[in-house]
Structure 1
Amino acid sequence: MRGHITKRSKDSYSVVLELDKDPVTGKRKQQWITVIGTKKNAEKKLSELLSQIDTGSFIKPGKTTVREYLIRWLDDYAKVNLSPRSFERYSGIIIKHLIPDFGRLTLTQLKPEHIQRHYTTKLREGLSARTVRYYHAIIHSSLQTAVKWGLVARNVADAVEPPRIQRTEMQIWNEEEINIFLENSKDSPYYALFYTVLFTGMRRSELLALR
């Protein structure tokens, strides 16, 4: 028998996996995983885990570090589901910023406070709130996959507040200021360009394409 299910309480079961024997002691190893819900939920989880064992993608819950998991997530999920450019950005952020901060922790040790402290540190180092929110999107997405894979019971990033983006009010010229600017730039070789952008609202790329 490669695995079986045992009832723990009214609304929880344990999925017990029979793993390979220990090469030193020769004893067979077991992995117990708790599933909250019905017996049908537990049977589905057992089927998923046995499939992971067959394909070599099974990771023991509890002992996997954040670093090990994120590297695996990049290879098995992000590389397949993201565009090459997005994958490159995700990889850079994970390797340069996330792993150095809490990669040594196991997935089960990772708490909301670790992630919140990471955001605070990055803001103090000068990163914008928009950039830190992008980090949050990566962390949340990766941990959500960990939940689906049965490595953690919940996504701790759900309990973290990413920084708010402060909206700055746009400052625009009035009619007098526009006239002053045009008067002072009338001898510039770019006068026609200035005039066009002020009175059409064209984007920079559109302006630079004009002939």
Structure 2
Amino acid sequence: MTTPRDTPASRRTRANGDGTVYKRKDSRWEAAGYVLAPGNTRKRIRVYGTTRKEALTKLTEKIAASNLGLPVATADSTVSDYLTYWLNGVAVRQVRENTHTRYAACIRLHLIPGLGAKKLARLTARDVRTFLDHLRAACQCCAQGRDTDRHFCCAIGQCCNKRLSPLTVTYVHSVLKSALEHAVREDDLPRNVARNVKTPAPRPRRFKPFTASEARQFLYAASSDRLHALYELALRTGLRKGELLGLHWEDLDLDSGTASIHRSLQRTPTGGLTILHTKTRASERRIALPTECINSLKTHPERQHEEREAAGAGWADNGLVFTTPTGKPLDPTNLTRRFRRLLHRAQLRTIRFHDLRHSTATLLLEQGIDLVVIKELLGHAHIGVTAGVYAHVRLRLQRQAINALGTALGLANDDPDDPSDAAAVR
């Protein structure tokens, strides 16, 4: 007589509520169980896998989410139900809070009004393409009802034609693709229909980085600012705004002239100013500091010490390199305001703070620095990102190279018997 302990794991009876797992005739494994469905009802779902463990894992994840009160959408759910499930049950654990907030706004403002009523299993590529075409053409004041109470735009018969940018339409499409891709991974859909829809690539955002002379003028104007060291780092190393504001003194080794970048300061809807990990794993890097940055960072503690004494008991000691006059973290928005005032005082054209990073890469490229070195300095995940963003600079350098070659060939001696020509060919 066998006991439960002697029974193989694949044949043991599962506890009540854990669902069932069995092998199908097509050699796949199928797991079935009851979960919480939209509308506060319970629904039997089925998931599949190439092994028993894979199918069981998928079912266990869905039951666990259901036990937390999250409705588990299935193929016969509406797109609205599935997007709500994916946003609150899946994406919330995979992306940063600010990214999740952008996803939520995209789903609430565009995807649910446009596709929410359709059944997930019946969604087609034509539905997605039609939706995106309408999104490009629709006035957002009218589509989102902004003019209902204020009596303007379509409410008075004079549409302002405020349409979404191509970049925003592409972003909406990418969010839908991510959600449907998860449905495919969980075997709720056989394919991702949103991937079959091709959207025109948006034009890259134009930016106008500083020229070398403008960069020198900027550094000269910043030399008397309390955040002089921050502006030096931004322009000479290309660090992101969040990376600069999240820099701690323990991250700096001024003796060896290096800095470890692995934190970023961000403002989140729930936590306020929060120290997070860097944007990507590739953003975690160790960079060499220019001599000018080392010198400015060595004098920066003196200014910070004076501010500490002036603040007295009101000083907030958090180990950050760049703080407010009372030691608190610098708000990214406030830094942007300070940066614009500095540009105005220096009589320089207005650019974004992020364009200092573009200025770094552009000036390095123009000095002939290899793309691989610039990629590592900026912390890009792939060299294709670096090459794509700064394609305009590379084209200009190609033109300079071609012109230089043309000059060299134009100066060559046309005499075929000249031995110097033969030596040049070799």
State the TM-score, normalized to the length of structure 1: 0.66
Indicate how the Cα distance of structure 1 residues 97 and 30 shifts in structure 2: closer, same or farther if over 3 A, else same: closer
Root-mean-square deviation (CA, aligned residues, Å) is 3.4
After superposition, the C-alpha distances for 1:160-184 in whole angstroms (9 at most, x for unaligned) are 11222246999x9xxxxxxxxxxxx
Gaps of 5+ in 2: 1-13, 36-42, 139-162, 219-338, 348-426
Q: CA deviation at 1:102?
A: 1.0
Distance, in Å, in 2 between the alignment partners of 1:209 and 1:140 is 46
Partner of 1:66: 79
Q: Does 1:124 align with 2:137?
A: yes
> Once the two structures are aligned, what percentage of the paired residues are identical?
23
Residue pairs, 1:59-208, within 5 angstroms: 59=72, 61-125=74-138, 126-166=163-203, 200-202=213-215, 205=340, 207-208=343-344
- Structure number with higher relative contact order (C-alpha < 8 Å, ≥ 6 residues apart): 1
Q: Does 1:3 align with 2:3?
A: no
Indicate how the Cα distance of structure 1 residues 31 and 136 shifts in structure 2: closer, same or farther if over 3 A, else same: closer
Indicate how the Cα distance of structure 1 residues 8 and 33 shifts in structure 2: closer, same or farther if over 3 A, else same: farther
Distance, in Å, in 2 between the alignment partners of 1:51 and 1:167 is 40
More deviation, 71-80/107-116: 71-80
More deviation, 128-137/149-158: 149-158
Q: Which protein has the larger Cα radius of gyration, Structure 1 or Structure 2? A: 2
Distance, in Å, in 2 between the alignment partners of 1:64 and 1:122 is 23
Aligned residues: 172
Distance, in Å, in 2 between the alignment partners of 1:130 and 1:60 is 29
Indicate how the Cα distance of structure 1 residues 114 and 4 shifts in structure 2: closer, same or farther if over 3 A, else same: same
Gaps of 5+ in 1: 21-28, 173-196
Distance, in Å, in 1 between the alignment partners of 2:91 and 2:128 is 20
Q: CA deviation at 1:127?
A: 1.9
Indicate how the Cα distance of structure 1 residues 18 and 144 shifts in structure 2: closer, same or farther if over 3 A, else same: closer
After superposition, the C-alpha distances for 1:176-203 in whole angstroms (9 at most, x for unaligned) are xxxxxxxxxxxxxxxxxxxxx7883458
Matching residue within 56, 59, 63 for 1:53: 63
More deviation, 106-115/52-61: 52-61
State the TM-score, normalized to the length of structure 2: 0.35
Distance, in Å, in 2 between the alignment partners of 1:199 and 1:31 is 63
Equivalent position SS for 1:108: helix
Q: CA deviation at 1:103?
A: 0.7
Check whether the contact 2:71–2:85 (CA below 8 A) recurs between aligned residues: no
Matching residue within 18, 27, 30 for 1:15: 30
Distance, in Å, in 1 between the alignment partners of 2:31 and 2:212 is 71
Indicate how the Cα distance of structure 1 residues 50 and 100 shifts in structure 2: closer, same or farther if over 3 A, else same: same
After superposition, the C-alpha distances for 1:2-57 in whole angstroms (9 at most, x for unaligned) are 31224243xx636141448xxxxxxxx8544455xx4x2x5412332134224425
Check whether the contact 1:129–1:165 (CA below 8 A) recurs between aligned residues: yes
Check whether the contact 2:183–2:189 (CA below 8 A) recurs between aligned residues: yes
One-letter amino acid of the counterpart of residue 128, structure 1: S
Distance, in Å, in 1 between the alignment partners of 2:87 and 2:195 is 21
Partner of 1:178: none
